[in-house]
Amino acid sequence: MTALPAALFNRWIHSREEDSGEVTVFRPSTFAFPPSRGREGIELREGGELLHYRMGATDRPDAVAGRWRVERDNIIEVDFPTAQLSPYRLEVISVDNEALKVRRITTAPR
């Protein structure tokens, strides 16, 4: 995956019911999820901007701004300059308009 597919640039919500082993599954924010207490998510934007949605104190998503870059092939490095979250790396297993499947590799080097 040298050029990132256009489908990657979306707001993705964690579909934990579909996770399998080390593979984390995300669905578009428009997906009809079953009722849940709260879900984390990620929004990848062209140009290296990123929003990581985590559960806030009121069970509403709290967006943390970050940056992403392609490390190599299908590996994306995510960093948060404000240090609100630890950096991480994702291996993109597959992505299309219906689902994003990733595997968290390790903490990204600073």
The closest alpha carbon to 53, from 6, 93, 14, 94, belongs to: 14
- The pLDDT score that the predictor gives to residue 72 is 87
Give me Rg for the CA atoms of the chain. Answer: 13
CATH topology for the 6-104 domain: Lipocalin (2.40.128)
- The pLDDT score that the predictor gives to residue 25 is 98
Domain boundaries, the chain: 6-104
Say whether 82 sits in a helix, a strand or coil: coil
Query: What's the token pair of residue 88?
Result: 């991480």
pTM: 0.87
Report mean pLDDT in 10-residue bins for the chain, 110 residues: 82 96 96 88 95 80 91 91 86 97 76
- The pLDDT score that the predictor gives to residue 65 is 94
Q: For residues 33 and 15, give the distance between their C-alpha atoms in angstroms, rounded to a whole number.
A: 8
